[in-house]
Structure 1
């Protein structure tokens, strides 16, 4: 039956509407109800079931003008990336906080699949044709950070996080997620979910049935506090000379006889226990000799001297079994030693379990693609099995990788796109000009995400210029070859990061402990920020839609021309789109204006599509004055 779960959801909402006495507050941001309300967004009090029913009705109406993506849709993706429990979290009862447990009225304040369905008309209005969700699977409890735990601490990859359901509906979380996918597909949207195949929570369900899939250490060994204490558990300690030797071998791709950790470190690890059990909500095991053991936490595996603290909530899966490599280190979980990485050492049952995960979500929910967390760190044979098995189900199934390096190898490995490095470089005119020049000469080895931020980096609006820099980034990115990408909150000019994973200093990390980070705790977006750029995004989208409609050569270098400007703070390029020429010009200096001259190949009449201002070139040069963060997008005759 088509849209079976969405229809069931609709019936449940109608039942609640007819039977529940509505005598309570349920506030939502006004833009959830009216996506066109982009300024002075207040919170409004609504009847929840009536609101959700109206949202489903809107989706049905909008489906008449749904997106029509080709089979090879990844290159056409305009992505809305979200952490589900955060993006649709809201203080519905108005008590000043996001409550974790459902209220007396039965509705959750943390984000849910139902509220994400209601947000689809808004996401549709931003021109996004793909929803990419950070992990939505069940979350471990032991060692969790914040009051919710990290979605990357996956307790069971075959179970969804039950906190993403609305208990009042009396539907399973699986049915509610299916309803979301069905609703997205009605709009012609694709659904991409993120998976982690190399790690699991330290209290993983899988360890109960398969303790041999995990590493174990003696329960008596404490976690390291002092960085040089080799008798406590933490990342293995290597001498400076060994670090240099390790890096040299890995750089040469020489994985024979990689230097192992010290004997003291290796002796912390034991065989898998005969019995596993829970003790005060912590997973433990008992060896044949009666000794109690535990699953050790993971840590940053490369480089071997990485100073990040131990990750308290996750561990590495034991992908190979070999008596000489029964420990967690760079040479067992990433730069696999050649003696270890042999077919006879593969834990085949574990590999089969991993490669069956995506087909499970394809067959049961109809997802369209996945982002693989740290996919480049998986054994190449395992990665190939994962991709091949999914594409046996659906030859057009999309794979994205979390990789900052753009290379042809990613395409050879089967990926459609990579994260790329724009979140780190967007605020640098020098780096942006270098990128655009390179793309104009040789293109990109693989399509990548056009975004100034991700869930691991500082927010674009927290950098210089706040909303003005965010506008500039969206305008510049909108006409480059790649996957346009909105990290949820970017359009609202949210400044609070989701996580402090990359690009943060110690001061930032102290400012944002887990309790203040949505990746770990119950927080919500600032939907009422009047400095949002929603209207600007839509205006740029209109220009893009008009000129990029049916444009088949978006990724061809010959359609991109990097232009030389007299000021290093200026980003300037031109796109040749069918019979049109679009000039994109902006001043990335947020303080000083720029008297700039841009060299063009001919004398053209130029009109700024944003302001309507007309310019003339002289002697093949366009000379004008750009204010701080000013952007012009010109149609050239």
Structure 2
């Protein structure tokens, strides 16, 4: 039996004896309308749910392998991403819930994630399996997980620590195992999650962080030469290095292929010492400390690496890995330090084959193959992949595609660069989150989509590092953004967990916050570091709206003729034409989607990007004459007069019509 089948069998055996009261959100059970807690027999509920998933499997197929290989799909080099709909799952938080209904998640004991009766109330892989039917009902076909690897303790914030403070790339976070399955390891529970997703026709993408490590990483003692070390007596002097203004001006031209590399001054470089030997390292008060001939050494925290004058203080829980080795001369200390030219825009004098930290590169390039062969994942999101050494990224992508030619690589890059596409990436984070809430932001995004773009990008007004969409413009902003991003070319419809619930509390404060917001939220218990749950018990949510948008998109994408089988989900700039509506004070966005080979059939999208007031507009659409067309969003019939029609749209309201 597969692991998922064994788990189903286990729960079936336990069901009749299980008398525990276990509450779940009614949305997890497929109940429509306002969400409320439902009392369940946990073993019976999971047994029945997993049994329904298993019944979707076809006999003789191995659902533990990637979906492309499972269905013998046409190999596209991972470009299936541009035809997908993503849900961003933060497993520890997304499925967090007050299962005993005592008013809070977990208790303050030796294991703060547990309830008094032993339920893990923070998220787990088992509960993520339970969420799959809910996600499938939304129209999701790709689950993208934030990092699920083990978390270091040294310097970590909050009561749970950041999933980006990686203790060991090859080990999973033990707290993602569910105590309801005491005989199954966390690795087996993740295997079951991937198998369940594949059984429902959904792919799994996992985010990996390969250029940094927890300060207390497992590799420190074994390979101290993979880390940077500084004089412990001068820790207070450590921060992002300072440069003269003239130097900064030249350094900032480097990403554009110009400029000049400059080292930090000698005082900063002198903080760093040669890595110690393993036997010189001890653990003191939970921190690694080395005693060498050069004195007492510690591992420094990381800091924002770009721009080179970024004022952020050093982070307390992660450090950069040493990608290159360079002969250490204490009188000069060339390249034995953390700065933009050693960890991001690598100085050509350093980034040579002879300086490659080969054992570290081999370890890092083996991470993704391990998850492919052990768990059958379908793709990865590379945290700051564009900041990795290009040669190392090439090795990583080559090894992964050797195992699965259709393996997808997504990149955390705000810019859609040709170099990323040439490197082998299939999609990028992009910029929708940054622009959608601004005046004219959605218009700007639509205009960008009329240009040939190197990569498709995530169509989402929020991420785990940004304000929530409803924080920027309420539900009208959320709805309008989702419709527009579902019908533009180049965009991958993307739901960040909680978006569909109208969640307004951010996960982290990394991007797009005002200084006042950053000051406020940085003092709060943010979910990236603390126990937290989504507002599952909510009466107002976007679920019916999102389902309707996705159903409409699927219908039109399949029904309308297209040269590549996807009318909407394509990456061709010539498939969009912006229109110029009259009225609306500049807030009305209108565009047509056209297949270049089948111009008689079109989709018209009109949206009010004013999120506080209704707007009236007049619009001419060539070829509509005196015909009437159906709006898939409202169910209304709109009549054109000499190819003109008019309407008043409520804040954030959108029209989607098939013309032809």
> Please, what TM-score do these two structures have when normalized by structure 2?
0.90
Q: Partners of 2:496 and 2:448 in 1: how far apart? A: 25
Give the one of 594, 608, 622 matched to 1:587: 608
Give the one of 452, 456, 469 matched to 1:443: 452
CA gap of 1:71–1:484, structure 2 versus 1, over 3 A, is farther
Which residue of 1 is the match for residue 320 of structure 2? Answer: 316
CA gap of 1:71–1:106, structure 2 versus 1, over 3 A, is farther
Gaps of 5+ in 1: 224-231
Which residue of 1 is the match for residue 101 of structure 2? Answer: 94
Which residue of 2 is the match for residue 557 of structure 1? Answer: 573
Which residue of 1 is the match for residue 637 of structure 2? Answer: 614
Deviation digits for residues 481-501 of structure 1 (CA, Å, limit 9, x no counterpart)? 221111111100100011110
Deviation digits for residues 599-635 of structure 1 (CA, Å, limit 9, x no counterpart)? 3112242222222322222343222222222211122
Which residue of 1 is the match for residue 303 of structure 2? Answer: 299
Deviation at 1:310, TM superposition (A): 1.2
Deviation at 1:301, TM superposition (A): 0.8
More deviation, 588-597/329-338:
588-597
Which residue of 1 is the match for residue 360 of structure 2? Answer: 350
Which residue of 2 is the match for residue 109 of structure 1? Answer: 121
Give the one of 193, 197, 204 matched to 1:191: 204
More deviation, 134-143/541-550:
541-550
Deviation at 1:167, TM superposition (A): 2.9
1:202 is the counterpart of 2:218: no
Deviation digits for residues 464-519 of structure 1 (CA, Å, limit 9, x no counterpart)? 2x222211111111112221111111100100011110011232123223652111
Which residue of 2 is the match for residue 50 of structure 1? Answer: 44
Give the one of 538, 553, 571 matched to 1:529: 538
Deviation digits for residues 564-594 of structure 1 (CA, Å, limit 9, x no counterpart)? 1223101111123666322111111123322
Contact 2:442–2:609 (CA under 8 A) maintained in structure 1: no
Contact 2:143–2:202 (CA under 8 A) maintained in structure 1: yes
1:88-167 equivalences in 2 (<5 Å)? 88-99=95-106, 100-167=112-179
Which residue of 2 is the match for residue 226 of structure 1? Answer: none
Give the one of 333, 352, 377 matched to 2:387: 377
Deviation at 1:297, TM superposition (A): 0.2
Which residue of 2 is the match for residue 498 of structure 1? Answer: 507
Which residue of 2 is the match for residue 171 of structure 1? Answer: 184
Deviation at 1:326, TM superposition (A): 0.6
Contact 2:432–2:445 (CA under 8 A) maintained in structure 1: no
Q: Partners of 1:268 and 1:19 in 2: how far apart? A: 62
Contact 1:609–1:632 (CA under 8 A) maintained in structure 2: yes
Q: Partners of 1:505 and 1:371 in 2: how far apart? A: 27
More deviation, 183-192/598-607:
598-607
RMSD of aligned residue pairs (Cα, Å):
2.0
1:545 is the counterpart of 2:561: no
CA gap of 1:558–1:335, structure 2 versus 1, over 3 A, is closer
Deviation at 1:60, TM superposition (A): 2.9
Gaps of 5+ in 2: 107-111, 329-333, 560-564
Which residue of 2 is the match for residue 12 of structure 1? Answer: 10
Which residue of 1 is the match for residue 27 of structure 2? Answer: 31
Contact 2:3–2:191 (CA under 8 A) maintained in structure 1: yes
SS of alignment partner, residue 15 of structure 2: helix
SS of alignment partner, residue 449 of structure 2: helix
Q: Partners of 1:539 and 1:63 in 2: how far apart? A: 27
Contact 2:210–2:364 (CA under 8 A) maintained in structure 1: yes
Q: Partners of 2:337 and 2:28 in 1: how far apart? A: 50
Which residue of 2 is the match for residue 229 of structure 1? Answer: none
Contact 1:514–1:521 (CA under 8 A) maintained in structure 2: no
Q: Report the number of matched residues.
A: 618
CA gap of 1:63–1:469, structure 2 versus 1, over 3 A, is farther
Which residue of 1 is the match for residue 109 of structure 2? Answer: none
Contact 2:203–2:378 (CA under 8 A) maintained in structure 1: yes
1:389 is the counterpart of 2:383: no
Q: Partners of 2:268 and 2:389 in 1: how far apart? A: 24
More deviation, 269-278/112-121:
269-278
Q: Partners of 2:480 and 2:566 in 1: how far apart? A: 26
1:574 is the counterpart of 2:583: no
Contact 1:547–1:580 (CA under 8 A) maintained in structure 2: no
Contact 2:324–2:357 (CA under 8 A) maintained in structure 1: yes
More deviation, 42-51/55-64:
55-64
Which residue of 1 is the match for residue 562 of structure 2? Answer: none
Contact 1:302–1:330 (CA under 8 A) maintained in structure 2: yes
Q: Partners of 1:102 and 1:16 in 2: how far apart? A: 21
Q: Partners of 2:289 and 2:658 in 1: how far apart? A: 66
SS of alignment partner, residue 526 of structure 1: coil
More deviation, 44-53/291-300:
44-53
